[in-house]
Amino acid sequence: MAATRTLSHTVAVIKINNPPVNALSTPVCQALIKELAEVKKDPSVEAIVLCGANGKFSAGADIREFSSAARRTVSLEDINAEIESTTKPVVAAIEGVALGGGLELALSCHYRVAHIKTVMGLPEVLIGILPAAGGTQRLPRLIGIPAALDIIVRGRHVPATEAFQLGIVDEVVPSSAIAAAVQMARKVIGKPMDSRRLSTNAVQYNINVDAFLDTALEKAKRQFRGAQAPLACIEAVRASAQLPYQRGIEKERQLFASLWATGQPQAQQYAFFSERNVGKWTLPSGERWDNVRPCQIRTAAVIGLGTMGRGIVTSLSKSNIPVIALEQDTKQLDSGKKAVNSLLEREAEKLKKQGNSFAEGNGLGSVHFTLNFEDLKNVDLVIEAVYENMNLKKDIFRKLSSIMKPDAFLCTNTSGLNIDEIASVTNRPQLVIGTHFFSPANIMRLLEVVRGRHTSPTTIATAMSLGKMLGKVAVLVGNCPLFVGNRMLGPYLEQANYLLEEGYYPEEVDQALEEFGFAMGPFRMMDLAGLDVGWRSRMEKGLAGSGVPPGTPARQREGNRYCPLADMLCELGRFGQKSGKGWYQYEKPGGRHAHPDPWVRDFLAKYRKTYNIKQQAVHPEQILQRCLYALINEGFRVLEDGIASGPEDIDVIYNNGYGWPKHRGGPMYYASAVGLHEVLMVLEGYHKANPDVPSMKPSFLLKKLAAVGGPPIKEWRTQLGKLPNKL
């Protein structure tokens, strides 16, 4: 039964029942229409309470129905209009979540009571659409333009206490919202209802709405870089102030249709479901997310409190896991402690604003700082985050192996070293796993969980479950140099560097990729991460510095093209933001504002002259093609090698760890949207002209998929099934 009905004296309680989140699917909508019609004509019913089963009001429209062949036959706004016009008062009893169409349904009720732990909001913008069941017209009428705009454009979850302060709900209760709603329904029987019908009210404002929304529009264009949904949301809110309700609804519908035509909603909804699917890992041996139990992690330790360690400690602590934080000397320990404390204070502040607070004994209090490895011996799991150096990591793992209890999990935050080599020095390689966080680790949602050859399914389940506890999206990947995300970044950055040799400036390449939607172009990103990191690694590999064999041409390594520009900057002490100079100049070392540097222009001009590089006419469109297709081609190789289970895994990694614009779905989704044949043609053309750039040689899998007509992304797995799986 999609909706059930009971009677409490003269109050009918209609309960939506569609596990797990009471999505408003077509059967639910049909059931609601039927129940409403019956209670309206039932003389024994004087008021109605609308609620959801299993402690959840509703997470909104059923997103799966948007792209399914069986498009909706029932409009949610028609149901809302029906509820609002009912002469018997309707009270929404909101528990758990009231999101999207769920909140829109509640807004059509005449009163709203919420449980104190509920979150509500209109997050449609996050899946590429706008609230399309009257939300953009009713919410501004209830709480005014600025507050409504903030909720609709950011798609944020509003806690019940804030919703009460804003006037979205009439009452917040610590116990059953349904019981409280029934009580309220009884009280309001017979009271005048006109002012409670939001669609009949005018939007109240004392601001210049157009000027306010124009400013918001400009800001959103800058902030959301090509995503259309936030802009449509603003226009819909404008309609609420300018047009009568019905015309506003028409505008809402129109905007929804034009958004759908952009293809962005499809990409964002693919990203939404991919994020949920990557948690459902499967090993070739048959062990899966639902048949292997994770171990409980009651205590954890972090070794190294540098850039990453301090964020990881904060993340654990904020999730209520007591942490022991270890450093190598007092100076580093003090600096790490200060940093962690300040991060935790900020977290506490954020929670306070949301009406929550750290419970006694949580957060700040749960971090113990130490220099003594012996203190770690009883923790359930340790995450090592010391310098990226194999020998150092092996020393640490040897020590951990001898000190820690035999069933403790040993995790490394290495960004690309061999997990098997690290595990080889321990007495428990089955409990060793990579947990690759992204910087800043307390904020970035991505966690690459890297399986070594001996890592046990229980260890995988535990690391994946830890990711969930920390509020991250954990993606299981195989062990290869640089794993998935960083591995794909290599060819992308390589092309960005070649473009500089060929005549572009860092700011031009960055601009093209930022206009595409990346949070940051490649050169700003390298400056932020520190150019010295890559330089050290290239020196270790003998690609830069004194390890390069004498007589090697500056722009060649092992017979292939090589760009030494980044090495040259590092030799001059230009490490990026940290030194105040890199591909850009900054106001001071550690400064954040990148300014194009005339010195870099001069340096590039001299470089091109020295090596007699002719400036080639590269069309700006080619900046995108070369950088993105290089990245995508490596993505296909990752799949070919069985390092990621499917294209969705790669896309989730890029969407959550590398600032890929979500409205484009992820690099592999983008490739399928552009057309695999098109990607292949460009790569083939480039590789033919540049055989000394092996990363651009089209991958076997891309060729294979293009040869079978470039099937939609959801069908790629059929071809992948025939390839090796290294998970």
Task: Compute the distance between CA of residue 224 and CA of residue 217 in angstroms, rounded to an integer.
Answer: 10
- Least distance (Å) between residue 225 CB and ligand NAI: 22
Q: Which of 52, 128, 131, 457 binds ligand 3HC (CB under 6 A)?
A: 131
Q: Which of 31, 47, 76, 383 binds ligand 3HC (CB under 6 A)?
A: 76
Catalytic position from the list 46, 95, 104, 275: 104
The contacts of residue 219 (CB under 8 Å, 6+ apart) are none
Say if CB 163 and CB 156 are below 8 A apart: no
Beta strands in 290-438 (DSSP E): 300-303, 323-326, 367-370, 381-384, 409-412, 432-437
- Least distance (Å) between residue 333 CB and ligand NAI: 9
- Least distance (Å) between residue 48 CB and ligand 3HC: 21
127 touches, from ligand 3HC, ligand NAI, none (C-beta below 5 to 8 Å by class): ligand 3HC
Q: Which of 32, 39, 97, 653 binds ligand 3HC (CB under 6 A)?
A: 97
Task: Compute the distance between CA of residue 488 and CA of residue 486 in angstroms, rounded to an integer.
Answer: 5
144 touches, from ligand 3HC, ligand NAI, none (C-beta below 5 to 8 Å by class): none
Across the beta sheet with 3-8, what order do the strands follow?
3-8, 11-16, 47-52, 90-94, 111-115, 171-173
Task: Compute the distance between CA of residue 660 and CA of residue 438 in angstroms, rounded to an integer.
Answer: 14
352: its two tokens: 């306070």
Q: Which of 133, 152, 526, 706 binds ligand 3HC (CB under 6 A)?
A: 133
Task: Compute the distance between CA of residue 386 and CA of residue 396 in angstroms, rounded to an integer.
Answer: 9
Q: Kindly tell me which of 388 and 420 has the beta carbon lying closer to ligand NAI.
A: 388
Say if CB 404 and CB 376 are below 8 A apart: yes
- Least distance (Å) between residue 482 CB and ligand NAI: 10
Give residues 11-40 in contact with ligand 3HC (rule: CB under 6 A).
Answer: 20-21, 23
User: Closest CB to ligand NAI belongs to which residue?
Assistant: 306
- Least distance (Å) between residue 122 CB and ligand 3HC: 7
Q: Contact positions toward ligand NAI, by CB under 6 A?
A: 303-309, 326-328, 332, 385-388, 392, 396, 413-415, 436-439, 529
User: Between the CA of residue 692 and those of 295, 495, 574, what are the distances in Å?
Assistant: 49, 13, 28
Task: Compute the distance between CA of residue 583 and CA of residue 575 in angstroms, rounded to an integer.
Answer: 9
Nearest to 26 by CA among 2, 42, 50: 2
Give residues 192-221 in contact with ligand 3HC (rule: CB under 6 A).
Answer: none
Q: Which of 12, 29, 39, 127 binds ligand 3HC (CB under 6 A)?
A: 127
Catalytic position from the list 35, 124, 501, 634: 124
Single-letter residue type at 687: H
- Least distance (Å) between residue 247 CB and ligand NAI: 51
- Least distance (Å) between residue 533 CB and ligand NAI: 7
Q: Is 230 in the site for ligand 3HC (CB under 6 A)?
A: no
Q: Is 99 in the site for ligand 3HC (CB under 6 A)?
A: yes
Q: φ, ψ for residue 616 (rounded to 5)?
A: -95, 150
Q: What is the CA radius of gyration of the chain?
A: 28
20 touches, from ligand 3HC, ligand NAI, none (C-beta below 5 to 8 Å by class): ligand 3HC
76 touches, from ligand 3HC, ligand NAI, none (C-beta below 5 to 8 Å by class): ligand 3HC
Say if CB 37 and CB 62 are below 8 A apart: no
Catalytic residue list contains 104: yes
- Least distance (Å) between residue 415 CB and ligand NAI: 4
Q: Kindly tell me which of 124 and 527 has the beta carbon lying closer to ligand 3HC.
A: 124
Task: Compute the distance between CA of residue 266 and CA of residue 289 in angstroms, rounded to an integer.
Answer: 27
**How many residues would you count in the chain?**
727
Q: Kindly tell me which of 296 and 330 has the beta carbon lying closer to ligand NAI.
A: 330
What is the total count of residues that contact ligand 3HC (CB under 6 A)? Answer: 24
Q: Which stretch binds ligand 3HC (CB under 6 A): 126-134, 451-459, 514-522, 574-582?
A: 126-134
Task: Compute the distance between CA of residue 460 and CA of residue 410 in angstroms, rounded to an integer.
Answer: 12
Strands 11-16 and 381-384 turn out to be unpaired
Nearest to 683 by CA among 646, 620, 615, 632: 632
Q: Which of 89, 123, 521, 576 binds ligand 3HC (CB under 6 A)?
A: 123
Q: Which stretch binds ligand 3HC (CB under 6 A): 132-140, 245-253, 413-421, 672-680?
A: 132-140
Question: b/e string for 548-570 if b means 16 or more Cβ within 10 A?
Answer: beeeeeebebeeebbbbbbbebb
Task: Compute the distance between CA of residue 487 and CA of residue 631 in angstroms, rounded to an integer.
Answer: 9
Positions marked catalytic: 104, 124
What is the contact surface with ligand 3HC in residues (CB under 6 A)? 20-21, 23, 59-64, 76, 97, 99-101, 104, 123-124, 127, 131-133, 135, 273, 276
